[in-house]
Chain A
Amino acid sequence: MYDVIIIGAGVTGAAAARELSRYKLSVCVLEKEEDVCCGTSKANSAIVHAGFDAETGTLKARFNVRGSEMMEELARDLDIPYKRNGAMVVCIDESGKDGLRELYERGVANGVKDLRILDRQECLAMEPNLSENVVAALYAPTSAIICPFMLNIALAENANVNGVDFFFNTKVEALTPFTCEKCGEPVWKIRTNNGEYRARYVINAAGVYADVLHNMVSEKKIRITPRRGDYCLLDKTAGGHVSHTIFAQPTKMGKGVLVTPTVHGNLLVGPTAVDVEDREGCNTTAEGIDTLIARAGDQVRDLPMRQVITSFAGLRAHEEGGEFIIGEAEDAPHFIDCAGIESPGLSSCPAIGEYIGAMMKEKLGLEEKEDWVGTRKGILDPSALSLEERNELIKKNPAYGRIICRCESVTEGEIIDAIRRPLGARSLDGVKRRTRAGMGRCQAGFCSPRTMEIINRELGLPYEEITKHGRASRLVIGRTKGVEE
């Protein structure tokens, strides 16, 4: 029996796991996919929002502002890239100025620091590639960009090192409450495809499936609609087109199409917003991509859309009420929801984790571990080293002298580290999200056979069992004719 079982290894589940790992407590995370960061957390705008967008007084506003405050230090502790590049909400029509003022006031009320309204000239001085039509902008210097994969992976890794168990390919099928014979407390029996788990508390961080889990145990039904967003990622040669995150003025469907540099130096354009039924329906569509191409130019001019290196779609876990649902379900004791975590979910995750940690500490009267380690060393980035340091490294470990992904200059040493470290990569996408091998302009054309070779060697997985992202996503089907094993 675990004290706490977290369902879902996205950023919310991982952040909660890391916070709970501070305490003398047995915790595990159940994840239906083969790795962390496989749902909503893997495909989003990769932005740490300042917090001016959400209605004042909502959980979204509260956790966003707090999360944004926490993120810089967290990124330092977890050794992941983070850059406070600032954001601009660009108004391209005189009639939009009132809305901009409203947004400013909301931001101030939410506690966002250093907000400022810029006039046209200031806007163009800061971002020469803004649309000719720009009339004003709301400037939020505290807005930042981050790598969502690395944040998610680092949170989970750190939780794991501090004692949290992770079970992958483990899908929750049923939740049954019963009363513990020893303590008389309510506890949960959790049936999965991988056997049964028991826990005193369940934390529901299941993303687009959070309503399914909630509705298994509660009569107060919630309803999550996957809201798909298509994105285009542009080559690093386009990465400097803007330096701030450029938003359109928000509408009720979301924040509109934004243009932002990524923390790795690419340019990201997106998302669209289309409600879909399929909770795994993260396919891009021709209409979505066409919309992006058409709309992206509203705020930013001369976007080099010919330099798209990939397009992808993510699903936001949109709850009907439009608000985060965080806390113990009214009619299901010891079942704690983190549901409806759509944007600004990534920005909020440290604060949600902190809140869950504090809540559990109070409920269970937890004691902190003496040996908790809140820092983690990321995968070494050899390109950050001097020539001498790099040579020293290669002398010690020649694998750092062999480039596997030439677009992103990822060495064999980094890939081996990604596989061997706690909660290591087991698939091509797992390696990609940890090291960026395959994320460059050739999109793994060059490195995938080489990465497969390393996975084969490191994990002893036959080629036929190496997958792109778990389950049946196998990369090859067998030997060619006449090859003797």
Chain B
Amino acid sequence: MTSYDIVIVGGGPAGLAAAVAARDAGVESILIIERDKELGGILNQCIHNGFGLHTFKEELTGPEYAYRFEEQVLQRKIEYKLDTMVMDISHDKVVTAMNRTDGMFQIRAGAVILAMGCRERPRGALNIPGYRPAGIYSAGTAQRLVNIEGYMPGKEVVILGSGDIGLIMARRMTLEGAKVKVVAELMPFSGGLKRNIVQCLDDYGIPLKLSHTVVDIEGKERVKAVTIAEVGPDMKPIAGTEVRYTCDTLLLSTGLIPENELSRGCGVEMNPVTSGPFVNERLETSIPGVFACGNVLHVHDLVDFVSEEAARAGANAARYVQEGEGAGEAGEEVRLVATDGARYTVPSTIHVNRMDDLLTVRFRVGAVFKDSYVSVYLDDERVQHMKKRIMAPGEMEQVILQKKQLAARPGLKTVTIKIEAQ
């Protein structure tokens, strides 16, 4: 069986940044396994701009952003395999993969970095009633058809869900000559970035109907019409509010789900809130030497944060390989708790004596908060209290923890992040 010090599952933005960081930390033997025909992951179909404002201080398209990292991978001569599907990761880090030329093969990995990304929630998972004709696509599938294959899924479009890909596709379809009639969003707030609502809907006069959902799909062969209705506070449609839109296409942008089949098979403990693995301050899962980063860990809003997080995972995996599992006395474990509006934190545990001087903790809120405070408590004492003009579920939030502050409290049990009105 061949072995590599680090096997990275996924050659998208997370996998590429992790690989670069691991190599820069001194690990020679690295393999990236990518299932598509090229590196870059989903960025390859995201041909709009707006990527890289944090990382490169300029606005790049998805493929351009991906290429910045691909270049670094190529310059460092990091090995990768394309068109290769990882079939299984065992508890003891044997990776089984398959492709056309090598067949099915196994690799013993010193460390594994999970960077598989996420997938879209399909219509079936939403229990939308109606027929099941052609013309119902998840926004990402439509994006692939338009931007990669060069085919138009339809010409009159209704979009359910205001996730970023749905918003981007509203504009993209419009530019390609389609008529986007409405974007319906079940929640009373959008799941996407504010800037996308402005640039992709408002600029093109596409209405966004919050607290609305699809209650019927007509058409036995191809979509003929979609009926949307307003929902009440119980999320149930309100009778009498139905509006029928004739259309030939329904796009769905109703949420992303981290793609963790391999992680589950491997046996890592999963966080039911994020649908990603629980990780510690090193972005290490419950299995030592198995790390996670990017959208497989929790769905991000900006790729810049994916790259930053993945670089940390890469550096930590390198340290794991170089120092061995026992290195760096783990010491006491502090639990991170998200409550009162904060939905989760990444990481979810911290070993104080192993953490960096500053540790970024990312989280999302569960509703829209205006003029509220993000507070951090070390056990019962509030140590941070930051006013935020607005926080929304579509955008990731962060706090930065200082090692010296945590280390100054021996016996510390929990760090709590909550949203407070005052």
A binds B: yes
Residues of B contacting A480 with CB < 8 Å?
A: 146, 150-152, 176
A284, A390, A475: the one contacting B153 at CB < 8 Å is A475
**Is residue B354 within 8 Å, beta carbon to beta carbon, of the partner chain?**
no
Across the two chains, which residue of chain B brings its CB closest to A463?
Answer: B151
Across the two chains, which residue of chain B brings its CB closest to A411?
Answer: B98
> Cα distance A443–B138 when bound, in Å?
10
Q: Are B129 and A387 in contact, with the CB atoms below 8 A?
A: no
**Is residue A312 within 8 Å, beta carbon to beta carbon, of the partner chain?**
yes
With contact pairs A309-B124, A403-B35, A448-B141 given, residues A477 and B152 touching in the complex (Cβ less than 8 Å): yes
Q: Are B129 and A309 in contact, with the CB atoms below 8 A?
A: no
Q: Are A390 and B103 in contact, with the CB atoms below 8 A?
A: yes
Residues of B contacting A398 with CB < 8 Å?
A: 100-101
Across the two chains, which residue of chain B brings its CB closest to A481?
Answer: B176
With contact pairs A289-B129, A480-B146 given, residues A395 and B151 touching in the complex (Cβ less than 8 Å): no
Across the two chains, which residue of chain A brings its CB closest to B220?
Answer: A280
Q: Number of B interface residues at 8 Å Cβ cutoff, please give it.
A: 53
**Smallest beta-carbon distance B400→chain A, Å:** 34
Q: Are A309 and B134 in contact, with the CB atoms below 8 A?
A: no
**Is residue A285 within 8 Å, beta carbon to beta carbon, of the partner chain?**
yes
Q: Are B134 and A477 in contact, with the CB atoms below 8 A?
A: no
**Smallest beta-carbon distance A81→chain B, Å:** 21
Q: Are B129 and A467 in contact, with the CB atoms below 8 A?
A: no
> Cα distance A399–B104 when bound, in Å?
12
A285, A446, A473, A479: the one contacting B221 at CB < 8 Å is A473
Across chains A and B, the number of contacting residue pairs, with CB separation under 8 Å, is 140
Q: Are A442 and B119 in contact, with the CB atoms below 8 A?
A: yes
Interface string of B123-157 (1 = CB under 8 A from A): 11101011111110110110011101111111100
Interface string of A415-443 (1 = CB under 8 A from B): 00000000000000000000000000111
> Cα distance A391–B99 when bound, in Å?
10
| Interface magnitude class on chain A | 35 or more
Across the two chains, which residue of chain A brings its CB closest to B127?
Answer: A289
**Smallest beta-carbon distance B148→chain A, Å:** 8
**Is residue A345 within 8 Å, beta carbon to beta carbon, of the partner chain?**
no
Q: Are A402 and B100 in contact, with the CB atoms below 8 A?
A: yes
Residues of B contacting A442 with CB < 8 Å?
A: 119-120, 122
B124, B148, B155, B222: the one contacting A474 at CB < 8 Å is B222
With contact pairs A308-B127, A310-B124, A475-B134 given, residues A401 and B99 touching in the complex (Cβ less than 8 Å): yes
Q: Are A477 and B154 in contact, with the CB atoms below 8 A?
A: yes
Q: Are B149 and A401 in contact, with the CB atoms below 8 A?
A: no
> Cα distance A216–B237 when bound, in Å?
44
> Cα distance A444–B140 when bound, in Å?
12
> Cα distance A483–B176 when bound, in Å?
11
**Is residue A311 within 8 Å, beta carbon to beta carbon, of the partner chain?**
yes
Across the two chains, which residue of chain B brings its CB closest to A394?
Answer: B103
Residues of A contacting B145 with CB < 8 Å?
A: 449, 476
A232, A308, A445: the one contacting B140 at CB < 8 Å is A445
> Cα distance A65–B81 when bound, in Å?
54
**Is residue A248 within 8 Å, beta carbon to beta carbon, of the partner chain?**
no
Residues of A contacting B131 with CB < 8 Å?
A: 282-283
Interface string of A462-485 (1 = CB under 8 A from B): 011001111111111111110100
**Is residue B87 within 8 Å, beta carbon to beta carbon, of the partner chain?**
yes
Residues of B contacting A452 with CB < 8 Å?
A: 149
B103, B135, B148, B248: the one contacting A395 at CB < 8 Å is B103
**Is residue A207 within 8 Å, beta carbon to beta carbon, of the partner chain?**
no
Residues of B contacting A407 with CB < 8 Å?
A: 261
**Is residue B406 within 8 Å, beta carbon to beta carbon, of the partner chain?**
no
Residues of A contacting B125 with CB < 8 Å?
A: 308-310, 441, 443
Interface string of A206-235 (1 = CB under 8 A from B): 000000000000000000000000001100
**Smallest beta-carbon distance A290→chain B, Å:** 9
Residues of B contacting A477 with CB < 8 Å?
A: 152-155, 248
> Cα distance A297–B124 when bound, in Å?
20
> Cα distance A479–B150 when bound, in Å?
6
**Smallest beta-carbon distance B162→chain A, Å:** 18
Q: Are B150 and A483 in contact, with the CB atoms below 8 A?
A: yes
**Is residue B232 within 8 Å, beta carbon to beta carbon, of the partner chain?**
no
> Cα distance A232–B129 when bound, in Å?
11
> Cα distance A473–B83 when bound, in Å?
30
Q: Are A387 and B104 in contact, with the CB atoms below 8 A?
A: yes
Residues of B contacting A475 with CB < 8 Å?
A: 134-135, 153
Q: Are A401 and B151 in contact, with the CB atoms below 8 A?
A: no
Q: Are B103 and A401 in contact, with the CB atoms below 8 A?
A: yes
**Is residue A129 within 8 Å, beta carbon to beta carbon, of the partner chain?**
no
> Cα distance A443–B103 when bound, in Å?
26
The B74-125 residues at the A interface (CB cut-off 8 A) are 83, 85, 87, 96, 98-104, 106, 119-120, 122-125
**Is residue A353 within 8 Å, beta carbon to beta carbon, of the partner chain?**
no
**Smallest beta-carbon distance B418→chain A, Å:** 26
Q: Are B123 and A443 in contact, with the CB atoms below 8 A?
A: yes
A-B contact pairs, 22 of them (CB 8 A): A232-B127, A284-B130, A289-B129, A310-B125, A311-B124, A390-B103, A401-B100, A401-B104, A402-B83, A445-B120, A445-B137, A446-B119, A448-B141, A449-B141, A449-B144, A471-B221, A474-B134, A474-B222, A475-B135, A476-B151, A476-B153, A479-B150
Interface set of B (CB-CB < 8 Å, partner A): 35, 83, 85, 87, 96, 98-104, 106, 119-120, 122-125, 127, 129-135, 137-138, 140-141, 144-146, 148-155, 176-177, 215-217, 220-222, 237, 248, 261
Interface set of A (CB-CB < 8 Å, partner B): 232-233, 280, 282-286, 288-289, 308-312, 387, 390-391, 394-395, 398-399, 401-403, 406-407, 409, 441-446, 448-449, 452-453, 463-464, 467-481, 483
